[in-house]
Amino acid sequence: MYDYVIVGAGSAGCVLAGRLSEDSNVNVCLLEAGLKDDHFKIQAPFGFSLRPTEYNWSFDTVPQPGLNGRRGFQPRGKGLGGSSSINAMVYIRGHRTDYDHWASLGNEGWSYNDVLPYFKKAQNQERGDSEYHGTGGPLNVADLREPNPYVRRFIDAAKEMQYRETDDFNGPDQEGVGQYQVTQINGERCSAAKGYLTPNLDRPNLTVITEAQSTKVLFENKRAVAVAYTKDGQEHEVRANQEVILSCGAFQSPHLLMLSGVGPAAELRAHGIDILHDLPGVGKNLQDHIDYIAVYRKKDLALFGKTFLGSLKVLHAIWKWRRTRTGMATSNVAEAGGFIKSDPGLDVPDLQLHFVVAQAADHGRTILPGHGYSCHICLLRPKSRGEVTLASADPMAAPMIDPNFFAEQEDLDTMVKAFKQLRQIMERSPFANLNAQDVFGAGVHSDDEIREELRNRADTVYHPVGTCKMGSDEMAVVDHELKVHGLENLRVIDASIMPTLIGGNTNAPTIMIAEKAADMILTS
């Protein structure tokens, strides 16, 4: 018997396990379907682009009408650290108005001023303590050790377009372009597992069970009392005296709720699942950043060299990293970017850039010939809403994921503007002498051609949220303390509780959510 059973050792689950077990009187069990996080390709920052599939759920979406019927790819981390063990380590909080908006929806305690202390509590900012940054926290935030020189070209090109340069996207003003800070420490990835879990594995009140696939939350009446899981082909149960906490992410938290009889009644009936609690918002309100990547190919050896020479450089980078924790292997690949507006009249940036010194296509699954560079541009607050549903009552079956990209015409229209702004940046003078070719967009000019290019190539930039949203309306799943409406001793604590998508990468906000939730639990 444990006080708390946490399902999912991702970004939120690791924070919760680390923080709750700080109290020696509290017994915590953390269940994770994946493996430990000790693989080289996780610890070396550059290795995420070479990540092994055993650390990735590698979900696909249902066919997307807005993407000309394509199925999108939805990578999610599988193993200790979750997606913080396979992401690009960009440390971004979003815009202060995102959190003020959450509070305006009736979510008490979630304004920017309310959440800033938890961002700071989580952080060890290597630049030092300030009004916006903290030191001494488990999550190390650092400048890149050896930025690629091509990053400077990107920043200078954007400045030619009158975008200002900034050195802190998480300070008083998000808008601008610059180098990203990253969640790394001493040249290694600083995942949520590395920061919050690994240093505390010897605590006698913390039990971590890996390769344990949770299949159902068990209830007595409407009180959550245990979690059923499978490990090594055997069925097990682990009981919770205080609370069961779901931290499985925007796809799998609603999935596990529905498998447990909590969700839209009609859908549960359709799959023969007994209805414990009709909660219509479970799985709804899925939001994600739709993203387009412009890819440029060079003919010379200036970036990484031809295939053979490039392979030697990679091997040398691995050797150097193992010896000194420096060099190319410390790169997060998406080294720079920024936040810009599709219309100068907007109050806050609605587009984000990620500049990549590589040819980035098909989520890295397709290797393009030659060498080059790329730049992502994504829509930060899309109007389109999707859903996560059940494929079947089999807990081993993947959830059905429908982001519903470009369902709203306004999203597509804004991305047409974004495409044009991205092209203008990438064709400025700092790039002009590189003689690089636009691999996919060279013949794309008219608005109709841009729309078709977007439908053919746009996809997620890996920020799904919202499927167990926080609120008090009829479609809300959890309240402002992240307790599931209508049930006892059950919370959801992860990115799925975000009522609306924030303007930026979602890892740091997810860690903040868990920090705040742990504080609420321990002080309640």
Beta bridge partners of 356: 334, 374
Beta bridge partners of 351: 340, 379
Dihedral, CA of residue 199, residue 333, residue 62 and residue 394, to nearest 10: -20
363: how many CB neighbours lie within 10 A of its CB?
16
CB 289 within 8 A of CB 380: yes
State how far the Cα of 73 lies from the Cα of 211, in Å rounded to an integer: 23
Percent helix / strand / coil, the chain, rounded to 5: 30, 25, 45
Closest C-alpha to 188, from 92, 85, 93, 119 = 85
State how far the Cα of 317 lies from the Cα of 331, in Å rounded to an integer: 10
Pairing mode of beta strands 351-356, 334-340: antiparallel
User: Please, is 451 exposed, middle or buried when counting C-beta atoms within 10 Å of its C-beta (0-12, 13-18, 19+)?
Assistant: middle
Closest C-alpha to 66, from 408, 450, 406 = 406
Pairing mode of beta strands 123-125, 139-141: parallel
> For 57, how many CA atoms within 13 A lie in the half-sphere containing its CB?
30
Query: DSSP per residue over 10-43, as a string?
Result: SHHHHHHHHHHTTSTT--EEEE-SSB-S--HHHH
Closest C-alpha to 331, from 144, 105, 74 = 144
The residues assigned a catalytic role are 463
> For 217, how many CA atoms within 13 A lie in the half-sphere containing its CB?
39
